Structure 1
């Protein structure tokens, strides 16, 4: 039980901490009115989301949606047994954590997509603003702003869950930093080679940079 067991691959850990940094940058640029940079960071968010979705299909076992997504019945049963069994370490996401990942990814996707059509009604318009009617653009702008509140709630809930796990002796932070943990039994798992993730990042980054980020940056 004291042997270190690999749980998270490097691409997933980099995705996680890059997302944390990017969300901080998006919040700051929006609050300070730096909308050009806000858009650039938004395209970075879109690139991260595309990577995570693809990596959730072809990546390491613990990163795959098929590994941690269980039926609603199983999740409810897991939640019902928590008061009796307590919080126990999992090899990857527990059933509730798996659903939180999906909800966060969907919320972030809504934030990214609505931002493509949004406008600050002064200087900046999303790259797809001109392709929809004013009513649609206004609705997208409203949803883009309102969705932030839901996102902040989810982030607070996630942080609360991390804190509760830590209090109960199940640290989620250290494994996301080191990639491994000592308090679980080793399980058979396949970890995809890192070069596959770098090829994926290069492809997504190249497409996003050429068609989305560079046109905005060159207009600054």
Structure 2
């Protein structure tokens, strides 16, 4: 690291854990569906539901860089970033990255919701399957399959952007592991203050509450069946 650079805390532990657990669970969801392990697929899906709901809540009450209000930018800020006319350094998600985060959360949420109403027409049905007609369930099942292709496209785009930034000397993966980002003295002087981090105890409490509710309602019956 250059002596002209300093590290600042950008990503809190809950945000980083969400990111890497999402990577692991997405792979597990693909593998269990592809291998026909549908009970485990459901367990992974409901565990993933805990993560997604937590992230949506953390986007409101979490650390400064995790909040939607921090990285949802208007058209002017987006254009300023794209054209290189930004007046201050980007600490968390940049304006384009912020919209990518929103889109990813949207498609992942859609995948979870559609799965609740889906059926494989053999053994496995979503917990809300009986609440809709067979035609509606078939539509949700189709959506569940098609939306997964959109998720794959998002993953490819995400990895491609990470590689481009790495080539330009900005290691996003390292920041998401350590939570720190390197800024020059000049960039630090342009910041009004460093990002404020929320309590990890608050995050843990949210996860425990969500795990208890979803675990009792959705996961426990499947585990009892295994």
Q: What is the TM-score normalised by the length of structure 2?
A: 0.91
1:132-211 equivalent positions in 2, closer than 5 A: 132-184=132-184, 185-186=187-188, 187=191, 188=193, 189-211=195-217
Aligned twin of 1:78: 81
Measured after TM superposition, the shift of residue 174 of structure 1 is 0.4
Measured after TM superposition, the shift of residue 89 of structure 1 is 6.6
Unaligned stretches of 5+ in structure 1? none
Q: Take 2:89 and 2:26, find their aligned partners in 1: how far apart are those partners?
A: 28
Q: Take 1:146 and 1:116, find their aligned partners in 2: how far apart are those partners?
A: 15
Task: Report the CA distance shift for 1:133/1:61 in structure 2 as closer, same or farther (over 3 A).
Answer: same
Task: Report the CA distance shift for 1:219/1:89 in structure 2 as closer, same or farther (over 3 A).
Answer: farther
Q: Take 1:110 and 1:73, find their aligned partners in 2: how far apart are those partners?
A: 29
Measured after TM superposition, the shift of residue 33 of structure 1 is 0.6
Unaligned stretches of 5+ in structure 2? none
Q: Which runs of 4+ in 1 moved over 4 A?
A: none
Measured after TM superposition, the shift of residue 90 of structure 1 is 2.5
1:56-75 equivalent positions in 2, closer than 5 A: 56-75=59-78
Q: CA RMSD of the aligned region, Å?
A: 1.7
Q: What is the TM-score normalised by the length of structure 1?
A: 0.94
* Aligned residue-pair number: 216
Task: Report the CA distance shift for 1:148/1:89 in structure 2 as closer, same or farther (over 3 A).
Answer: farther
Measured after TM superposition, the shift of residue 93 of structure 1 is 0.4
Measured after TM superposition, the shift of residue 72 of structure 1 is 3.1
Q: Take 2:32 and 2:148, find their aligned partners in 1: how far apart are those partners?
A: 14
Note if contact 1:117-1:126 (Cα within 8 Å) is conserved in structure 2: yes
Aligned twin of 1:110: 110
Note if contact 1:89-1:170 (Cα within 8 Å) is conserved in structure 2: no
Q: Output one character per residue of 1:60-103: Cα deviation in whole Å (capped at 9) or x when no partner.
A: 00000000100134324422x15xx7xx9730000000000000
Aligned twin of 1:43: 46
1:213 paired with 2:219, answer yes
Note if contact 1:117-1:141 (Cα within 8 Å) is conserved in structure 2: yes
Q: Take 2:75 and 2:181, find their aligned partners in 1: how far apart are those partners?
A: 28
Matched residue of 2:183: which SS?
coil
Measured after TM superposition, the shift of residue 45 of structure 1 is 1.1
Aligned twin of 2:19: 16
Q: Take 1:211 and 1:103, find their aligned partners in 2: how far apart are those partners?
A: 28
